[in-house]
């Protein structure tokens, strides 16, 4: 028997970024057989509620302070999957003066891409407003490249 990880032997480990209070990504992936090992949410009250829903998940406050080295140090491993819902305030059509991916909040999308680059997961998924197409998709795709 080899030490390789297979879907049949162990559940894939998830890192949930910008998790919010409810942890929608974590809940959906849990129901699909995955295990969330860590989550990141900057708003304290959301972290408190998230931890009530997912008490065994390691929580981090600020994505800007989160690194692959820190995850390995704290958890002993890296995630197989990274998911998240980066802030959309600067991308949303409700913000007619939004700076897109260059904005203070939506610019955190690039921090998520940085973390994907460090962790090199099997796959990742981020969701956001469809306005991203005209408010920074090119820069985001360059960063992913």
Catalytic residues: 88
Distance CA 80, CA 34 (A): 10
Can you say whether the dihedral through the CA atoms of 10, 64, 61, 102 is positive or negative? negative
């Amino acid at each position: 028997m080899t030490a390789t990880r297979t879907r049949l032997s162990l559940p894939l480990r998830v890192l949930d970024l910008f998790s919010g209070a409810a942890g929608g990504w974590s809940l959906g992936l849990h129901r699909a057989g995955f295990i969330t090992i860590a989550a990141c949410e900057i708003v304290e009250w959301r972290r408190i509620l998230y931890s009530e829903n997912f008490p065994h998940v390691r929580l981090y406050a600020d994505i800007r302070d989160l690194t692959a080295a820190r995850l390995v140090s704290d958890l002993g491993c890296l995630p197989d999957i990274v998911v998240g819902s980066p802030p959309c305030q600067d991308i949303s059509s409700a913000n007619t003066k939004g700076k897109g991916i260059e904005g203070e909040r939506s610019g955190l999308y690039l921090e998520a891409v940085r973390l994907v680059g460090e962790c090199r997961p099997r796959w990742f998924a981020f969701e956001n407003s469809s306005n991203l197409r005209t408010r920074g998709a090119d820069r985001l795709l360059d960063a992913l490249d």
